[in-house]
């Protein structure tokens, strides 16, 4: 099956700093990538949808200036949490939809962000 690699798997940063999370499709081209946030024992909440070469579309309530998304190529999307605060601590997960397929999306292994 298609593999989506997310890096890092865990990161601890100081309040006020920025953190970048990478999402790579290893063996396929991804025209669309999605970024989710998941709090403990809760469901996945979609933050934004990014299409290669264009600006990301953010869900209502998600601060685009705080969560910067770049989808520079068909295999790489990045999420940068700027000026992180403890309330940004969460599990961030990306998924990628295979180019040419209409439906199935593959998920990365997630990144546990802890802001201290």
Partner 1 sequence: QQQVKQSPQSLIVQKGGISIINCAYENTAFDYFPWYQQFPGKGPALLIAIRPDVSEKKEGRFTISFNKSAKQFSLHIMDSQPGDSATYFCAASMRGSNYKLTFGKGTLLTVNP
DSSP string, 34-68: EEEEE-TTS-EEEEEEEETTS--EEPTT--TTTEE
89: contact with partner 1 by CB under 8 A: no
Q: Does 76 bind partner 1 (CB under 8 A)?
A: no
- Among residues 81, 110, 113, 115, the one that binds partner 1 under rule CB under 8 A: 110
Minimum separation from the CB atom of position 75 to partner 1 (A): 17
* DSSP tag of 108: -
Place of tokens 């700027």: 82
Give the span between the Cα atoms of 91 and 103, in whole angstroms.
24
Query: For 73, phi and psi rounded to 5 degrees?
Result: -145, 175
Q: Is 6 in the site for partner 1 (CB under 8 A)?
A: yes
Minimal distance, residue 93 CB to partner 1, in Å? 5
Q: Which is nearer to partner 1, 17 or 57 (CB)?
A: 57
Residue 27 interacting with partner 1 (CB under 8 A)? no
Q: Which listed residue (18, 42, 73, 83) binds partner 1 by CB under 8 A?
A: 42
List residues bridging with 4 in a β-sheet: 25
C-alpha closest to that of 108 among 90, 91, 92, 93: 93
Residues within the interface to partner 1 (CB under 8 A): 4, 6, 32, 34, 41-44, 46, 49, 51, 91, 93, 95, 97, 102-110, 112
């Amino acid at each position: 099956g298609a593999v989506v690699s997310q890096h890092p798997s865990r990161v601890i940063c100081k309040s006020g700093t920025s953190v970048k999370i990478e999402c790579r499709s290893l063996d396929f081209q991804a025209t669309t990538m999605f970024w989710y946030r998941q709090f403990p024992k809760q469901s996945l909440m979609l933050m934004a949808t990014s299409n290669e070469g264009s600006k990301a579309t953010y869900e209502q309530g998600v601060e685009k200036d705080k969560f910067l998304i770049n989808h520079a190529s068909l295999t790489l999307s990045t999420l940068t949490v700027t000026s992180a605060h403890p309330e940004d601590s969460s599990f961030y997960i990306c998924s990628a939809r295979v180019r040419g397929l209409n439906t199935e999306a593959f998920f990365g292994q997630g990144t546990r962000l802890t802001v201290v």
